[in-house]
């Protein structure tokens, strides 16, 4: 009985490791940095967020300055 318990334990651990590694891939999915220059002064963070949120999940709130950085993660 002991060898079968060891085999079952190893299988269970392998399944758990496989499950954890598939979750890590989602967390560490490479995003895309988008730099936007020469924005109209009337463009604010909400307009930029609404425009680019249709592409994917925005990881950080956009900051409208002379240069804009967005990190978008595709689903």
| Stretch 39-59: mean pLDDT | 81
State whether 24 and 38 are in the same domain.
Answer: no
Reported pTM:
0.42
State whether 35 and 18 are in the same domain.
Answer: no
State whether 16 and 2 are in the same domain.
Answer: yes
Given a cut of 60, whether residue 44 has pLDDT beyond it is yes
Query: What's the chain's average pLDDT?
Result: 63
* Residue-range definition of the domain harbouring residue 47: 31-75
pLDDT bin (cut points 50, 70, 90) of residue 21 is very low
State whether 10 and 37 are in the same domain.
Answer: no
Report the range out of 12-16, 22-26, 71-75 with the highest average pLDDT: 71-75
State whether 39 and 24 are in the same domain.
Answer: no
Three-state SS annotation for the chain:
CHHHHHHHHHHHHHHHHHHHHHHHHHHCCCCEEEEEECCCCCCCHHHHHHHHCCCCEECCCCCCCCEEEEEEECC
| Stretch 35-64: mean pLDDT | 78
State whether 70 and 36 are in the same domain.
Answer: yes
């Amino acid at each position: 009985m002991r060898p079968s318990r060891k085999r079952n334990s190893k299988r269970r651990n392998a399944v758990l490791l496989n499950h954890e590694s598939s979750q890590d891939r989602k967390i560490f999915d490479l995003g895309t940095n988008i730099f936007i220059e020469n924005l109209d002064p009337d463009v604010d963070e909400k307009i930029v967020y609404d425009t680019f949120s249709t592409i994917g999940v925005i990881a950080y709130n956009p900051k409208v300055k002379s240069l804009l950085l967005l990190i978008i993660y595709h689903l």
